[in-house]
Amino acid sequence: MTDPKAAQTAHQDSLLANAPCFIETQFPVAKVSVESYRERTAKQSQTLTGLGKWWGRKPLILVRAALLGLLMPASNDPEKDRDIFLKLLTMDKEGLQRRKSKAIPQERLLEELRRMPPSIQKRFLTSGESISVLNLDKSEKEELQLLVFDRMPYSEKQGYCDRPEQIEGPSVETWQEINSYLGTHGENLYELVQELGERRFGHRPRVGDVFCGGGSIPFEAARLGCDAFGSDLNPVAAALTWGAMNVVGGGKEAIEKITRAKEGIITELMDQYQEWGVDRNSLGWHAEYYLYCIEITDPETGWKIPLLPSMAISVF
């Protein structure tokens, strides 16, 4: 006798293996572009930029979207496919609400409230000498925040949200909807990618980038649970990619190991400097920091003038 559940699973696997992938049918370019721009203009908070500068580094959210788009199967319902895809990236309504981390200022709340029906205005506005929303209790303020937030255009919402990589991902309820639609059992992106890879290829997905540059593609592929490979003719690119995989991707344990090694080297060098008496003045003081700047010579006095934007060394 054939197990009906096993037969259904085998049938789903067969359909998945032969179905076109999501990215072959559609791709939410506008929303992914907004998220990519925000990530690349985040300066110090970007995940990989602390390792070193690389001008052609691809946004991690773009890599994530492309990989999920290649793995997720397309169905005969493109609208639902797009909805599930955006849920995976927390770019849907519920996902954006989960990512909201900053309060919308009162001026913006009032601006949007004035465009709402009078019945809604009466619930939140207190009139007097001036219109205000400051007298609301905590639950009313939270409700108003989400009400105005949901009416904003996608690009404006980004100013009040964390990036997708900065939260754990979709909610438990959203994962139930995703799994029900895709016929999967994942509780996070890592598990979902593993299962989709097994169904489509018969093994965990393998991602290779022969011009890996700053390492965005191998790094994000590995973070999603793929077997990742990268190479580049430029040794700087190879070093940056290695750092992305083994330093940033190594987690807390790798960072602690590197920190201990760095502290050991510094201690050893300082002991050697003391033994040699390097960089000491007549009082026995030794230099700890050096400040460098470009100087110009005044042609009339011969004085050397430092070209410094500020004379402040540090601000506390």
DSSP state of 79: H
206 has which bridge partners?
227
> How far is it, in rounded angstroms, from Cα 52 to Cα 211?
17
313 domain residue, yes or no: no
* In a shared domain, residues 69 and 183: yes
* In a shared domain, residues 8 and 85: yes
> How far is it, in rounded angstroms, from Cα 62 to Cα 186?
22
306 domain residue, yes or no: no
* In a shared domain, residues 33 and 149: no
> How far is it, in rounded angstroms, from Cα 70 to Cα 72?
6
Under 8 Å between Cβ of 191 and 185: yes
pLDDT in tens, 191-201: 999 999 999 99
Last residue of a domain, one of 229, 251, 273: 251
| Domain count along the chain | 2
Which pLDDT belongs to residue 44? 76
- State the residue range of the domain holding 223: 4-95+172-251
pTM: 0.77
* In a shared domain, residues 243 and 207: yes
> How far is it, in rounded angstroms, from Cα 271 to Cα 177?
61
Residues in the chain, pLDDT under 50: 11, 128-129
281 domain residue, yes or no: no
Which pLDDT belongs to residue 5? 60
Last residue of a domain, one of 251, 267, 300: 251
Phi, psi of 19 (to 5 degrees): -80, 150
Which pLDDT belongs to residue 12? 55
Query: 3-class SS at 132?
Result: strand
Which pLDDT belongs to residue 247? 85
200 domain residue, yes or no: yes
Which pLDDT belongs to residue 183? 94
Mode of pairing for the β-strands spanning 295-297 and 227-230 = unpaired
- The amino acid present at 149, given as its one-letter code, is F
Which pLDDT belongs to residue 129? 44
* In a shared domain, residues 16 and 77: yes
Burial of residue 214 (CB within 10 Å: 0-12, 13-18, 19+) is buried
Q: Report CA 46 to chain centroid distance, whole Å.
A: 7
Under 8 Å between Cβ of 205 and 71: yes
**Taking phi first (over 0 means left), then psi (-120 to 50 degrees means alpha), and beta for anything else, what does residue 202 get?**
left
